[in-house]
Amino acid sequence: DFDEGAEWGAGPERLAVGQFPTEASTARGGGTAATVPQLCSRMASLHFLQHRLGAIEAEVPLRYATMQRALGGGGGAGVEHVTAWLDGLLDGARQTLASCGHKVADYIACKMVYWDLRQLFIEGLYRVGVGGGERLTAVTGRLEAALCQLADHLPGPAGAEARDAVALALLRASVKGLAWVMLDGGPGRVFGDEDGAALEEDLSALKDLFLAGGDGVPAEVVAAETKRADQLLMLMSLDTKTVCDNFAEAEARDKAHGLRVGRRGEAA
């Protein structure tokens, strides 16, 4: 009961937006996590600092040499000598900022996919079958709304790197969520041979969303991130006999090479 073209926060995710629980909020006995606009602000700040590091790194040797000369302790050391001495001074800060940026991007993506869209996507997709249930187009519509909100809060060339990082994280979370759905099964979520074409169509729609006609995530990255989902669909398209025969052949090859598969499926 929602408008498929509604902006992010006005769709089925509206009941969950801003309510993502964290260990800290749970320990306090309540509270909510940061909203998407707040998280985007963090991403923008982290990327701004990353870009400023280069200018700071170039300025430090010059200021240090100037200070040494003013104190009379320069000893004839030029800026080149000081630059070599201070080389790599901010490498640790650069690595920390990059790591924090990846973590915030992953947090945004996981919040959107596994919490805000959990009812529509993780719990509801294909719940009564592929043919009669909710198709992935409903999910991609909400993901598109999410990407639009991210673009609004990370605008212009300055926010390009941050947008790309969050979009990639959202792609990864979405593909893992789809694989989770296809492997989850359970009451009402049963797949048949006739569902293969529809599942491939849905995965293709997810790829197209993030490709954005060549303006989104690079095609080679999308192909790499969706490879396991493609393999899963290929496996689901095989009949039981073929799967069993393939396993028997693989086991025979392992034995021929002196490998033995343990009871837990591990090479012994």
pLDDT at position 82, please?
A: 62
List, in order, residues 6 or more apart from 239 with CB less than 8 Å away. 193
SS3 state of residue 231: helix
Distance CA 111, CA 108 (A): 5
Instruction: Phi first, then psi: give them for residue 103, nearest 5 degrees.
Output: -65, -40
151-189 pLDDT per residue, tens: 999 988 878 899 999 999 999 999 999 999 988 776 678
- Distance, CA of 181 to CA of 122 (rounded, Å): 6
**Range name among 58-67, 101-110, 208-217, 256-265 with the lowest pLDDT average:** 256-265
Residues 6+ apart with CB under 8 A from 23: none
Q: What is the pLDDT of residues 186-236, one digit of tens each?
A: 667 888 878 888 999 999 999 999 999 999 999 999 999 999 999 999 888
Predicted local distance difference test score (pLDDT) of residue 87 = 72
The model's confidence at residue 68, banded by pLDDT at 50, 70 and 90, is: confident
Query: How much is the mean pLDDT over the chain?
Result: 82
178 Cβ contact list (under 8 Å, min separation 6): 125, 136, 202, 203, 206, 229
Which tens digit of pLDDT belongs to each residue from 37-66? 899 999 999 999 988 888 888 787 777 777
**Alpha-carbon dihedral of residues 163, 164, 165, 167, nearest 10 degrees?**
80
Q: What pLDDT sits at residue 163?
A: 92
